[in-house]
A = this chain, B = another copy of it.
Amino acid sequence: MKLNEIADRLQCRLEGDGDIVIQRVAGIDRAGPGDLTFIAHEKYLSRLPSTRASAVIVAPDVAARGAPAALLRTDQPYLAFARAVALLTEPPSTPKGIHPASSIAADVQLGPDVSVGPFATIGAGASIGARTVIHANVAIGAGATVGDDCLVRPHVSIGERVVIGNRVVLQDGAVVGSEGFGFAKQADGTHLKIPQRAGVVIEDDVEIGANSTIDRPAVGETRIGAGTKIDNLVQVAHGVTIGRRVLFAAQVGVAGSAVIDDDVVLAGQVGVANHVHLGKGVVATAQTGIPNSVDPGEYISGYPGIPHRDWLKSSAVYRQLPTLRKRVADLEHRIAELEEKLAGRRTP
């Protein structure tokens, strides 16, 4: 595609030769002739003069001098990059139509243009919305509802009566609606299972990563709000309520009945205890452990989680703890000497 067409489609201002043909999008370090790349963060600006890319998406104020490539200017270089990738790559192939080697109960409602891959199962009373793609080996339980324009990749498991909105993406092996981990201890020390038969609701535009697990509760529901994105190998326990536009990086775990408000961001391997409430916009850095509720807008780190600035300072001191202990021991020694001297003088 010619660069001036790309500039048009991405609504960027072009500086340079619009007749250049762009073949693909690439990162700044790997880009070569025929490639479009981008600089979305100041710290990569130093790489601009040496890029071998044919064109670079940059912010309006980036200095052009020294740039060996055409420039596409926009207020939002990262968004333009995202659109450029969509423009210049092929969408993945999908099953076409209903594969004969699928197992679809007689009363399942299939919207127009639904695709179902081989060895997929859809249980009685389920309904699948228009244009939704069900890949190979997917299992959808009885009475489940999947909305329009969803992408359900191979080996996904959607439990009975689970409700999934529109434009939801479920990556390979994701489980929505497994039974929550709920047991009541009995007098003899054994654990009585509390049946976990209540519902799970996944709202519109949610994405759930590969092999992540979303449990159903005994009572109430588990709910993931619209536009929330969840990475791979994440655990969402029974009865958790997650707001809108939340981001969970990989291997996050959220325990039962926690409430996560809108716009929360949890980095990789963060753990949230049960019944905890994270206020709107809370951000936690990787591996943070969150045993207690957190006020809106807090930015936390550590185990247990504390304000990020405090954690940075404390973890800097942590490294010096052996030195600090030695300094305390030295002080004790010196003060003992002083005390002795003064005591000596007192009794001349």
Tell me the A residues contacting B by CB distance below 8 Å: 24-27, 30, 76, 78-79, 81-83, 85-86, 89-93, 99, 101, 103, 117-119, 121, 123-124, 135-137, 139, 141-143, 153-155, 157, 159-160, 169, 171-173, 175, 178-179, 181-187, 189-195, 197-198, 205, 207, 209-211, 213, 215, 218-220, 227, 229, 231-233, 235, 237, 239, 245, 247, 249-251, 253, 255, 257, 263, 268-269, 271, 273, 285-287, 289, 291, 302-304, 306, 310, 313-322, 324-325, 327-328, 331-332, 334-335, 338-339, 341-342
Chain B residues within an 8 Å CB radius of A121: 117-119, 136-137, 154
Closest approach, in angstroms, between the C-beta of A316 and any C-beta of chain B? Answer: 8
20 chain-A/chain-B pairs, Cβ below 8 angstroms: A27-B239, A76-B187, A81-B194, A89-B198, A91-B195, A92-B141, A103-B118, A135-B139, A172-B178, A173-B173, A175-B210, A175-B211, A181-B250, A183-B247, A213-B233, A285-B291, A310-B319, A331-B331, A331-B335, A334-B335
Do B191 and A245 have beta carbons less than 8 Å apart? yes
Chain B residues within an 8 Å CB radius of A316: 322
Chain B residues within an 8 Å CB radius of A321: 313-314, 317-318, 321
Do A319 and B327 have beta carbons less than 8 Å apart? no
Chain B residues within an 8 Å CB radius of A89: 195, 197-198
**Majority secondary structure of chain A interface residues (helix, strand, loop or mixed):** loop
Do B178 and A175 have beta carbons less than 8 Å apart? no
Do A219 and B26 have beta carbons less than 8 Å apart? yes
Do A237 and B213 have beta carbons less than 8 Å apart? no
Q: Which of B85, B172, B255, B313 contacts A157 (CB 8 A)?
A: B172
- The copy count of this chain in the complex is 3
A15 to B160, CA, bound (A): 36
Do A197 and B93 have beta carbons less than 8 Å apart? no
Question: Given the interface contacts A172-B157, A178-B172, A181-B232, does A287 sit within 8 Å of B303 by beta carbon?
Answer: yes
Chain B residues within an 8 Å CB radius of A117: 121
Closest approach, in angstroms, between the C-beta of A121 and any C-beta of chain B? Answer: 4
Chain B residues within an 8 Å CB radius of A273: 268, 286
A192 to B313, CA, bound (A): 35
Question: Given the interface contacts A183-B247, A303-B303, does A197 sit within 8 Å of B92 by beta carbon?
Answer: yes
Chain B residues within an 8 Å CB radius of A286: 255, 271, 273, 289, 291
Do A178 and B183 have beta carbons less than 8 Å apart? no
